[in-house]
Structures are given as C-alpha cells and as structure tokens.
Structure 1
Amino acid sequence: MVIKSLRSLFALMLLVCGMGLSATAFAADQQSSQQQATAQTSEADLWRAVKSGEAGYTTAKGVERGVLINVTGEQGREIRNKYVTPVMGIAVVGVFGAFLLFYFVNGPARLNDGFSGKMVFRWSKADLILHWCVAISCLTLIFTGLNIMLGKHVLQPMVGEGSGIWASLIYGSKTIHDWVGPFFIVCWAILVVKWMPHQMLKSYDFKWFLTVGGYFNVGPLKGKHADSGFANAGEKAWFWTLAIFGLFIAISGVMMVLPGLDLPREASMAALLVHGVSAILIIAFTIVHIWMATVLSEGGMECMVSGYCDENWAMQHHNLWYDEIKANGTLKYRE
C-alpha cells in the first residue's frame, strides 16, 4: 500500500515537472521570437537610416567617415547623366549644325570693297602667342572632356569595351585633361587681365547684335554693319563667357583634381556639376567663335596668324577702332 502511494506521488511529481518545463520552453520560445522581431525591426531601421545618408560612428578618418551611403553623390550622378551629359551632346551637335546650315544658306560675310592689299597692325606677337596658347589648351580640354563625358556613348560602341582601346582612350583623355588644365588656367588668367580693357560693353554694341554684325547676305539685314570698336559685340560676349565660366571651370577643376583637399561629397558633386555646365557654355561659344572668326568672316583669320588685318576689313568690321588709330596717328601698316 505504501509502495503504491509512493509511485503515485512520484508520477505526480513528474507530471508537474513536465508541465513546468513545457511552460518554461514556451516562454523562452516566445521571448526568442520577440527578440528576433525586435532585431529585424532594428535592422530595417538601421538600413533605412543608412540609405537616407545618416551618419554613424567609425574610427576611420575623413570628412564623411561616418556616412556609409552618400545620398548626394547618387543624386549628383543622376543629374549629370540625365541632364548635363545630354545637353552637352546637344550643344556640340546643335550649335555646329546650326552654323553649318547658316553657312550653306547665307555664305560668308565678304568684304564689300574686296581686299585692299594694305595690312594694318592689330595684334602684337605677345598677343598672338597668348591667344594660341589659350586656344590650343582650350580645344585640348574640350576634346578630352567630351570623350570623358560622351565617349562611352559614341566611341566605346565603335572600338569595343573589351578590346583595350577604349581603356587607353579614356585613361589618356583623363591624364591629358588633368595636366593641360593648369596650363590653361595660367594662360586664361593672363589673357583676361591683358585683354579686359578692350572688352568693356558700349552702347553701340547692342546695335551690333540687332544686325548680327553684318554677317547676313540675304534678307532685310543684308549689308548692314553696326559700329564696332577694337572688339565687336560678339567678341566681347565670347570674352566675358570665357572670363566668367573659365573661372568656374578653374575652381571646380582644382577641387576635383586635388584629393588632398578632402572635400565633402556635396562639394565634390557641386564642383562636378558646375564644371559640366560651365563646359557646355564654353564649348557652345567656342564653336560660335571659331565659325565667325574663320569661315564666316572673309579675311578674319589673318588677324590671328600674322597680327595684321586688311585695311578694308578693319573699316568694315571695326570702323570705330580704325577711325581712332587713324585720327591719333597710331595707324601702322606692314612694310
């Protein structure tokens, strides 16, 4: 009888212990599930913060050492690819195409009285050297910059990405661009300071724009030439575009080339976008300048080759300047 009672008591104890263990296991499992849910929520919040660009903590050194994903960099890349790059392509093709069409329809602006054969002094040798240093370095930067920005859409499909040619082209363009840049900046600064006195806008410059400088050979503007000093209104527009946006190009270029500056990504992306927009304007005006100074102006190229211009060219395109040097006795002919 006693033995049976002990057995019943032992069985009851086992039952109670089993129920206790089951309750403990259930509580532990429930706690583990809650911890996993909390961990998943915390992890989601963490990556949400990372993707939004929030800064954390790290022992690394640098301006943005606590930022794992920089939102500004991605936004800047999207703006460059969506707006800056296409507009640059449109500027090159559009402006060049427009002047090509104008040339075929209108033809060049010829001298009304033909060439006189008398060559008038206009530019010194120092000015010629300065002009060509700026021109050659500027064109070099334009072509290498265009390859960096547009090459993957134009040249890369032609040469193939895996051939090694494209890698050499893009590396060469980047290297040349970086080394020619400082030379351009120095020459640009000297040119701006030296030529600025002749580039101040005058009241008669607005009339030059209304008649488009007398370049039209057809229509109501045919043969109409507005007054012009040493530099006409078109040359002044080109000069101030180069002066202002050349400054933006220089500052933004230095910001991107010198890694020792350790700039935040916002500043780097701003420099990249400013560099691209400024380049678009300078490229467009460069195309206009080249067309108008060479193909569209009979006798115009001679000025920057020898430093002298034909007397009839001076009277037709820069009459106020010609009258001034003739009146003050500084008119000088080539012997």
Structure 2
Amino acid sequence: MFKNLIKPLLALVLMLPALALAADPGTVAEQAGNPSDVLWQAIQQGEVGRTTSSVDHHGQLINTVDERLLPARSDYLAPALALALFGMIGVFILFILVNGPSKLHDGFSGKMVYRWSKADVAIHWLGAIPCLLLILTGLVLLAGRLIIEPLMGPEALASLGAIAKPVHDYMAIPFLLGWLLMSVKWAKNQIPAKYDIAWFMVVGGYINFGPFKGKHPDAGFANAGEKVWFWCFVLFGAVIAVSGVILLFPEYVNPSRSLSLLALIAHGAAAIIITAFSVVHIFMATVLSEGGMECMVSGYCDENWAIQHHNVWYDEIKADGTLKYKE
C-alpha cells in the first residue's frame, strides 16, 4: 500500500517549484526574459519591421521623433490660445474702463459717406463669422481639457467636442473663401505709408489722457493698425489655410505622419496669433471707435468719422470727385 503512494507523493514534490513559478508569472518572465518587454524596448529604440505602406517611417511601429511634438500642443499651444482670447479680452475691458471709448470730437454730422461696397461688406462677414466660430470651436478642441473639463466635467467636454468638431470642419470652407477674397481684393489699400509711423507714435489717437489726448494722426483708407492686422491675417491665415487643408483632406493630400503633426502644430500656433488680433480688431471697430461699426453694416461711415480717423483718404476722394453721400 505504502509503495503505491510513494510515486504520486514524489511527483507532487517535484511539481511544487513549477506550481510556485506558475503562480508568479513575473518570476518566469524575469528568469526567461519577458517577450513583451523585449519587443517594447526594441520598438522604442526604433526597430524596423516590414509593411506594405510607403509613407515616411513606414517600417517603424511608433515614430518617437514625431511624438515629441504632441506635448508642445497640450503644454504650450492650449494655454496660449486660451490666453490669447481671454487675456486680450481682459486687457481691452481694463483699457476701456480706464481710457473710455474714442469719441467723435465734432459729434456725428448726419451725413454718411460711401466707404465699402455691398460686395466688400459681404466678403467681410463671409470671413468674420466663420473666423469667430473657428476660434470658439478651436478653443474647445485644443484647450477644452485645460479650461472646460475642470469647470464642467469630462461629460460636458465630450458633448461640446462632439459639436465643435463638425462645426470647425464645415466653417473652414467659408473662412478659406473669405480669406482668399479679402487678401486679393483689399491688398491695394493696405500698402504702408510714411505717415503710418506717426500713427503708431500717438497710438492712433485713441488715448484720452496725457500727451496723446486729442491727437489725430494722418491715415489713408486703412490706418496703420488696420494694415498690421490685414497683413497678419493674410500671412497667418495662409498658414491656417494650408495646414487646415492637410488636416481636413488627408485622403487627397496623403501627408506623412511627420507632416500631419507639423501641420497640427502650425495650425494651432497661427490660430493663436489670429485670435489675439481678432480680439483687438473687434474692440477697435466696435467699443473703442465711436461710429466705426457702421462701416461694416451699411458700407457707409459718418463724414466726421472719416475726417477724424481717415483724413488722407477723405481728402483724396473729395479732391478727385469720388466723394459720394448716402441718399
């Protein structure tokens, strides 16, 4: 009887070390070398495999060089975009509280001077409305985790993101069209002139205190500030346009992973500049400049507004007989 038990007991004793190792798979992996750890280390070191793809880095499972760009988007671009929008709004609110708006010294004349055609007004709003929507939706997509999720939670951010993404994509097309038409049609009135330097020296005459008070620098059809805004819009709008096409239509552009990530970074960086200048432009045209908004509503401006803010242009149209009043 005992002889019959010896063999099973001996087999059990011999199996105990194996059972202990099976209970701790980490020990086996440490002794034999965990294949997944070895594979992951090889991937991180740039191990190349085989694939049917022909794009850049097609043989690498993970492109560690491109991955370095992603923290720049979340760590730098996201807070910078939020600062460009809310920071500039805060600065202008403070400025209005201290300085007040720029009033027409001679008041409204009641006579409206032709300044923009109906086509120009339409082009302006074709670019302006999508631009505002792109800024707001871009803020959700780029900086939502930074400013929305802490306040409203991840569910609210997910819901806003689901709305923001298609709106951002669809608004890109009218923005591109508006940007192109503005760039081509308005460039002739945005050429720098000598008197633009004097305009900057007195901050455009918008300061209501100190040595700048009451100053009315010369300005043509566009003043120096508007010219800076225009050329920034043209330049950085081009960056947004090109990078946006790459991101929006990858099936036609067929970009590499490196180009896609560079487009993503360039898109966000240019958007920060456009956002900051857009806030300045909106405040200057509405709150800060009395009578300024009327130009892009009806295409006409008050005669005293034209004389005070764009005297060189007013004198030119008066001299050559193209001055036209609203009937």
Question: What TM-score comes out, normalization by structure 1 length?
Answer: 0.84
Tell me the residue number matched to 1:316.
308
Q: CA deviation at 1:158?
A: 3.8
Runs ≥4 in structure 1, deviation > 6 angstroms? 41-45
Tell me the residue number matched to 1:27.
none
1:120 is paired with a residue of what secondary structure? strand
CA distance in 2, matches of 1:94, 1:157: 19
Q: CA deviation at 1:322?
A: 0.3
Tell me the residue number matched to 1:65.
58
Q: Are 1:226 and 2:229 matched, yes or no?
A: no
Q: Are 1:172 and 2:163 matched, yes or no?
A: yes
User: Which digits, 9 at most, give the CA deviation of each residue in 1:75-107, with x for residues without a partner?
Assistant: 111111121111112212221111111100000
Q: CA deviation at 1:187?
A: 1.6
CA distance in 1, matches of 2:38, 2:196: 62
Q: CA deviation at 1:44?
A: 7.2
Contact 2:138–2:168 under 8 Å retained in 1: yes
Q: Are 1:134 and 2:105 matched, yes or no?
A: no
CA distance in 1, matches of 2:151, 2:196: 46
Tell me the residue number matched to 1:101.
94
Q: CA deviation at 1:114?
A: 0.8
Which residue among 79, 93, 96 is the counterpart of 1:86?
Answer: 79
Tell me the residue number matched to 2:247.
256
Q: CA deviation at 1:49?
A: 4.3
User: Which digits, 9 at most, give the CA deviation of each residue in 1:197-232, with x for residues without a partner?
Assistant: 001111111111111110000111111121000000
Q: CA deviation at 1:235?
A: 0.7
Question: RMSD over aligned Cα, in angstroms?
Answer: 2.1
User: Which digits, 9 at most, give the CA deviation of each residue in 1:49-97, with x for residues without a partner?
Assistant: 4214x25122342514311112133211111112111111221222111
Which residue among 187, 210, 213 is the counterpart of 2:178?
Answer: 187
Contact 2:79–2:146 under 8 Å retained in 1: no
CA distance in 2, matches of 1:306, 1:186: 22
CA distance in 2, matches of 1:302, 1:43: 67
Q: Are 1:216 and 2:231 matched, yes or no?
A: no
CA distance in 1, matches of 2:267, 2:236: 9
Q: Are 1:329 and 2:313 matched, yes or no?
A: no
Contact 1:211–1:221 under 8 Å retained in 2: yes
Q: Are 1:246 and 2:272 matched, yes or no?
A: no
Larger Rg: 1
Q: CA deviation at 1:47?
A: 4.1
Contact 2:199–2:219 under 8 Å retained in 1: yes
Deviates most, 208-217 or 81-90? 81-90
Which residue among 96, 100, 107 is the counterpart of 1:114?
Answer: 107
Q: Percent identity, aligned pairs only? A: 52
Amino acid at match of 2:288: L
Tell me the residue number matched to 2:270.
278
Amino acid at match of 1:69: I
Q: CA deviation at 1:41?
A: 11
Amino acid at match of 1:50: I
Question: What TM-score comes out, normalization by structure 2 length?
Answer: 0.86
CA distance in 2, matches of 1:289, 1:59: 51
Q: Are 1:297 and 2:292 matched, yes or no?
A: no
CA distance in 1, matches of 2:161, 2:227: 35
Contact 1:62–1:262 under 8 Å retained in 2: no
Q: Are 1:201 and 2:192 matched, yes or no?
A: yes
Tell me the residue number matched to 2:228.
237
CA distance in 2, matches of 1:291, 1:252: 28
User: Which digits, 9 at most, give the CA deviation of each residue in 1:264-299, with x for residues without a partner?
Assistant: 222111111110110000000000000011100011
CA distance in 2, matches of 1:176, 1:43: 42
Q: CA deviation at 1:234?
A: 0.7
Contact 1:72–1:269 under 8 Å retained in 2: no
Contact 1:76–1:269 under 8 Å retained in 2: yes
CA distance in 1, matches of 2:272, 2:51: 41
2:116 is paired with a residue of what secondary structure? coil
Q: CA deviation at 1:160?
A: 2.8
